[in-house]
Amino acid sequence: MISINKSQQQFNLDHNHHSFQTNIIVDKPYSCKFCHINDPLIHIPSLVSTCTKCNIVVHNKCITLKEHFQNQCKNNNNNNNNSSNNSNNNTSGGQKISRSNSITCLFKKLFFSKQSPKKQFIKFGLDITSTSSLPLTLDNLIQWIKLLRFDNDRNIKILKNYDIFDNIKINQEIFDYLIGILQSGSKYHDCLSDFENIANIQNEQFISLTLLYRIMFNWENTIYFNDLDVVNFLSDLYKEYLATLNSSYDPNTHQLSLKLLTILLLLFENQTYLVLSFNSSLIETFINLSNHKNLLKESWTEQEENVLGRVIVLLGQYYHQEPFHSAIEKHPEWIDLIINYSTKNQICLVHKELQPSDIQLGPFIYESPLCVVYKGSCTGQEDTVAIKQLSVESLGFEWPLFFKETTIICLSQHPLVIKCLGAHTLQTEKPFIVTELCSRGNIIQALNSFGSEPPFELVVNMAVEASRAMNYLHSKGITHRDVKPANFLVKDCYSVKLIDFGTSKVLDQNLKMTVIGTPVYMAEEVVKGQSYENSADIYSFGIMLWEMFTRKIPFEGMNEFERINFVLKGGRPTIPDTVPIKLANLIRQCWDSNPSARPTFKQIIDCLVSIVDPVTKRSIVNIHQRMNTATLSNVFKYLDTESLLNCSRVSRQWKRSVYESICSNFKEYENIYWSPKRKSLCPIEQNLKSNKKY
């Protein structure tokens, strides 16, 4: 009774009157017209057929029963002529079955009882996802989703129903269909049902997101996600979910957002999509999640907390890699997340972890109640380093501040910010930080080391470098909050380095900040406990400029109470006449009582550079004053004869350095540019010998 038409790849079921055909999609539930069972008939190609003449839908098993052969097709002209022959047909065993035989009919009804809708759904799902059965086509997937929704969508959120799609390979058509369900106006959007209410839309999106999540674990499907438009759409959709939750909390929307959040995290963690993630709005979406945390409050889940933490950890791991470093540097809010996460969880994501065996302490440099600083050496570093050793038992030590300072130093990669070479933070009672060595102390100590009045150009140059360091920090959205001369160290070549980020904070204009810093350098708004911005650092820098160019102690002779009252009434240190007028005006602008009237560090730099003419025409401090013989020797050995002669004319120091370098390490100067013979004096030595001694 059942024959297979191989050309059409579907069953053709022969009946005495009807012309049944399977694999025809039924647009709505029907009851079987033969057995008249009241339960809705679920259409499965291998179990259900449709008459191509009268369009009735019946079970395949009912077609083969002789008792139903009297059912005539309404569109068949010969129905009446053939009705008498139905009762005489034989069964497969050749035995007649009488319609009046109630026992036989009962047996057949029991034997051929239909499968439950749930069993039909399970069987069809296994068929379309099995490699040996039906291929996973778009039509099959649509049919499977219909079967999934047969019981008023009660089975949609049973996750084990989706297990059959784990690691299954799909095609572009199916992927577009799943994305189309999420998009309004997609050509596939109306294929399943009419979305007349929010519940239907949410159910459709739940199915789509769950299937997208399952297929992500097959690497062959990654090509479909590796599309900028797709990633941006999913990111924007998540933002829409968050916006909906912000206006009114809905558990179903929150559930959808969690599913989509998991998909976005998998995209970010996958190395295949790494560059795409930084070029899209994906990371910005995670930042929105951080802002959303305060709005959800009790509804904030552990899953969202874990996802956000994982994203921050990945940002820290990628920070020192290009092109990701440049992308992160452009977003102060991303840096803020890294700093806050490190402070809260007491973990540094961006530093090199050192062990006590990696360092060797040398002479003592500086001591305070909080730390002791030594000269020393560190594995992998040729130059002498500074080792800042702390003790957890010392007064004022706090682990969060230690991790905060270490993180900010590592994040602030700038030539004028102290360079962190590593830190020891894990399972220790004596943590330490290793940085480059600044042998001349802080900026005031370096100026006082001259004994007499330091060169004006040198003071201006050091002020410019300090301004540039602060300008960099502000460009990253970080307020230092403790600007003072002691936090600007000076290297042997008089290069300035900014230090001490324990009190620094990423600027948040909506936050009322606490009173933090050194009292002498505090701005009025900080003393009053008002909210403040980067302009508070400008005020402190103005006091520091006054101290640098006068070499006096600000507010000397005043106690704390007198100084605070003096400042709050508008009092400031007196600027002597020896300070140039342009510089004096700059200092007054920096410590102006109105924060908005203070200049930015970019404006301070421009003003300092233009104070004296030589500053604008040449380097503020000549390079020959900032390089010693050892450094120059490494440069000279790569120069030709003419260049070396020019170097010997720069200054007496350079002339001596050229002579000593050639005499002491002659073999190192035998390079591709210049190879003089040692038997007689080389042209350089002859030239140097002919000059007077110096």
The residues carrying an active-site annotation are: 482
Sheet holding 432-436: strands in order across? 359-367, 371-378, 385-390, 432-436, 420-424
Half-sphere exposure of 111 (CA within 13 A, CB side): 10
Among 269, 275, 281, 280, residue whose Cα is nearest residue 310: 269
For residue 235, the surrounding DSSP H or E stretch is: helix 228-247
Report the distance separating Cα 454 and Cα 459, nearest Å: 7
* Non-local CB neighbours of 163 within 8 Å, separated by 6+ positions: none
Q: What's the first-to-final CA gap in the chain, in angstroms?
A: 118
Cβ(162)–Cβ(210) below 8 Å: yes
Q: Burial code of 601-626, b = ≥16 C-beta within 10 A, e = fewer? A: bebbbebbbebbeebeeeebbeeeeb
Angle between helices 581-590 and 601-609 (to 10 degrees): 170
Give the 3-state DSSP-derived string for 604-669, with helices as H, strands as E and coil as C: HHHHHHCCCHHHHHCCCCCHHHCCCHHHHHHHHCCCCHHHHHHHHCCCHHHHHHHHHHHHHCHHHH
Report the distance separating Cα 234 and Cα 211, nearest Å: 14
Would you call 461 helix, strand, or coil by DSSP? helix
Would you call 334 helix, strand, or coil by DSSP? helix
Q: How many other C-beta atoms lie within 10 A of the C-beta of residue 677?
A: 8
Would you call 222 helix, strand, or coil by DSSP? helix
Would you call 216 helix, strand, or coil by DSSP? coil
**Sign of the dihedral through C-alpha 383, 384, 386, 391:** positive
Report the distance separating Cα 291 and Cα 623, nearest Å: 48
Report the distance separating Cα 636 and Cα 544, nearest Å: 39
Alpha carbon dihedral 63, 64, 69, 74, in 10-degree steps, equals: 20
Q: Residues, the chain, total?
A: 694
Report the distance separating Cα 553 and Cα 297, nearest Å: 50
**Sign of the dihedral through C-alpha 321, 327, 329, 333:** negative
Report the distance separating Cα 629 and Cα 104, nearest Å: 113
Cβ(422)–Cβ(354) below 8 Å: yes
Among 644, 632, 631, 648, residue whose Cα is nearest residue 671: 644
Cβ(555)–Cβ(573) below 8 Å: yes
For residue 362, the surrounding DSSP H or E stretch is: strand 359-367
Q: Burial code of 30-62, b = ≥16 C-beta within 10 A, e = fewer? A: bebbbbeeeeebbbbbebbbbbeeeebbbbbbb
C-alpha distances in Å from residue 385, one per residue of 32, 373, 375, 402, 435: 87, 10, 6, 19, 6
